[in-house]
């Protein structure tokens, strides 16, 4: 009986030690690694730039870039995140951020380039208000080689901006007039190669007028002669 008691006691003790070792084991973590090329700085040195793992707006983990532009962010809990660099003033990253899936494995080859960035500023005036007065809540799109990459709206004074875009040529700003309004031109090319660009302005006009010479299927010139080319405005 005593022998059986000691056997059970030893078994319980061994099981307790097993549970203790499991509880004290390090939790599973992941890592993110890649390289950062610094084309923004004249020296081209990327060392010391911070790389960050984000969960939404919450910073999860970070590390600095080492020699040769290599970085590794360790001790990240499994999950889905976004990785991005902390860009110094006047710089931005391409891409701006990269999603990573760390649910089952580490993420490697998450590379970035730090580039110079500039901003675009302008004002939209006119329709549906008075000519020369800022028009609020007008939509504008920023295109890169014809592909839309950003959108914004004017503020209460008609001002707008597109902030911190990679320094290069080939951009254009497109205005989307509201109902009953028009613009000429509707798009303005922008070169951001060397500096911020200001004065990318649009003047909207009322678009409720027919400046042609027909009304429906009726040719106005046959009725009014030379007046057929005048403007006929809808109320």
Give the pLDDT confidence of 11-54 residue by residue, as tens digits.
445 445 444 544 445 589 999 999 999 999 989 999 999 999 99
pTM for the full predicted model: 0.71
Average pLDDT over residues 78-95: 96
pLDDT score of 4: 52
Last residue of a domain, one of 54, 87, 110: 110
Of 211 and 219, the one with more pLDDT: 219
Confidence of residue 158 (pLDDT cuts 50, 70, 90): very high
Confidence of residue 222 (pLDDT cuts 50, 70, 90): very low
pLDDT score of 178: 95
Residues 137 and 166 in one domain: yes
pLDDT tens, position by position, 99-153: 999 999 999 999 999 999 999 999 999 999 999 999 999 999 999 999 999 999 9
pLDDT score of 23: 46
pLDDT score of 26: 58
Q: How many domains does one find in the chain?
A: 2
Q: Is the pLDDT of residue 155 over 90?
A: yes
Mean pLDDT, all residues of the chain = 85
Domain annotation covers residue 19: no
Q: Is the pLDDT of residue 229 over 90?
A: no
Confidence of residue 6 (pLDDT cuts 50, 70, 90): very low
Burial of 130 (0-12, 13-18, 19+ CB in 10 A): exposed
DSSP for the chain?
Answer: -HHHHHHHHHHHHHHHHHHHHHHHSPPP-EEEEEEEEE-SSSS---TT-EEEEEETTEEEEEEE--GGGEEEEEEEPSSEEEEEE-PPTTEEEESS-EEEE-SSS-B----EEEEEEEEEEEEEEETTS-TTSB--S-EEEEEETTEEEEEEE--TTSEEEEEEEES-S-EEEEEE--TTEEESSSEEEE--SSS-B----EEEEE--EE-SSEETTEETHHHHGGGGGS-EE--
Residue 130 structural domain: 118-208
Confidence of residue 207 (pLDDT cuts 50, 70, 90): confident
Last residue of a domain, one of 110, 145, 167: 110
Domain annotation covers residue 126: yes
pLDDT score of 82: 99
> Alpha-carbon distance 148 to 141, whole Å?
7
Domain of residue 78, CATH code? 2.60.40.10
Residues 126 and 196 in one domain: yes
Q: Is the pLDDT of residue 230 over 70?
A: no
């Amino acid at each position: 009986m005593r022998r059986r008691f000691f056997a059970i006691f030893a078994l319980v003790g061994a099981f307790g030690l097993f549970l203790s070792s499991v509880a004290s084991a390090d939790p599973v973590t992941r890592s993110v690694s890649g390289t950062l090329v610094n084309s923004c700085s004249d020296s081209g040195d990327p060392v010391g730039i911070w790389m960050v793992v984000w969960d939404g707006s919450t910073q999860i983990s970070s590390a600095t870039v080492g020699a040769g532009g290599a970085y590794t962010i360790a001790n990240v809990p499994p999950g889905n995140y976004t990785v991005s660099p902390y860009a110094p003033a006047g710089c931005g990253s391409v891409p701006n951020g990269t999603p990573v899936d760390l649910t089952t494995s580490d993420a490697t080859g998450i590379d970035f380039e730090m580039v110079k960035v500039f901003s675009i500023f302008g004002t939209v005036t006119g329709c549906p208000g008075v000519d020369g007065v800022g028009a609020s809540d007008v939509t504008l799109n920023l295109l890169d080689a014809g592909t839309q990459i950003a959108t914004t709206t004017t503020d209460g004074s008609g001002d707008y901006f597109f902030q911190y875009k990679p320094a290069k040529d080939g951009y254009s700003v497109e205005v989307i007039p509201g109902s009953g309004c028009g613009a000429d031109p509707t798009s303005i090319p922008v070169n951001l190669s060397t500096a911020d660009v200001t004065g990318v302005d649009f003047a909207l006009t009322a678009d409720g007028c027919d400046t042609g010479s027909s009304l429906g299927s009726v040719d106005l010139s046959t009725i009014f002669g030379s007046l057929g080319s005048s403007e006929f405005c809808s109320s």
